[in-house]
Amino acid sequence: MKTLAAVSDIHGNLPALEAVVADIVSKNVDSIVNLGDHISGPLWPKETIQFLMKQNWVQISGNHDRQLIARDPHHHGLSDRYAFQVLDDREKEWLRQLPSHARPDDDVLLFHGTPSSDTAYLMESIEHGKTSLASRSEIRKRLGSMRSPVMLCGHTHVQRIVEVDEDAVVVNPGSVGLPAYKDEVPEPHVIESGSPHARYALLRYDKKWTVELISVPYDSPHAAAQARKNNRPDWATALLTGYTK
């Protein structure tokens, strides 16, 4: 049997990441993969990237990681701006070198949003300001020609498993560090998980793949206090409740 843990969308929430890693270690996994959006946000971006740079995980870039490096800092949003200002050249170069896709195993494909875009949603559709599960046909369309027995994505912060074909499953491990958010792209909407837990996925292979979606408690009031300290009450609410208001 082989075991794989998948984390995503840490967003600089080091206490949540530490709680998740402790839980993963207790399960004796073979490897860990990290699906992007590592540090953007008003929490602990410097400490989080330093933690991640020490790991022997397979790690890929998310849209916020790309934007931190590729976008003019004057055009950064609040979360990217806070993270960017604390990075040194070595940390920026680490982000710059992250791939957008990876295959840590012949059966496993990693990407952040969809195979062709780190900003597009794969398994969610937006309707009336909320997200809902996309149809299987729409998910297949968004995947394009990309196929693997296991496809791991992040971006939407929603824990989800979808069997797109008889021999292909897509898994979103949810967000380690941000359980709810508002966004304006591609249209105004909210993502809400309903609890402050830190989330990840555990995958096991023994003749076939099984997937467990895991939610871990941690000191979310501490994270919320850090968000308030850095003038982000919206993050504080999300971190405490898993709702946007």
Q: What is the CATH number of domain 2-241?
A: 3.60.21.10
The predicted pLDDT at position 200 comes to 99
What local confidence, expressed as pLDDT, does residue 140 receive?
A: 97
- The one-digit pLDDT tens for each residue of the chain (245 residues) are 799 999 999 999 999 999 999 999 999 999 999 999 999 999 999 999 999 999 999 999 999 999 999 999 999 999 999 999 999 999 999 999 999 999 999 999 999 999 999 999 999 999 989 899 999 999 999 999 988 999 999 999 999 999 999 899 999 999 999 999 999 988 999 999 999 999 999 999 999 999 999 999 999 999 999 999 999 999 999 999 999 99
- Residue 177: count of CB within 10 angstroms of its CB: 31
Count CA atoms closer than 13 A to 57's CA, side-chain side. Answer: 25
Buried b (16+ CB within 10 A) or exposed e, 120-131: bbbbbebeeeeb
pLDDT for 185 = 87
- Distance (Å, whole) CA 199 – CA 176: 5
pLDDT at 81: 97
Question: What pTM, to 2 d.p., does this model score?
Answer: 0.97
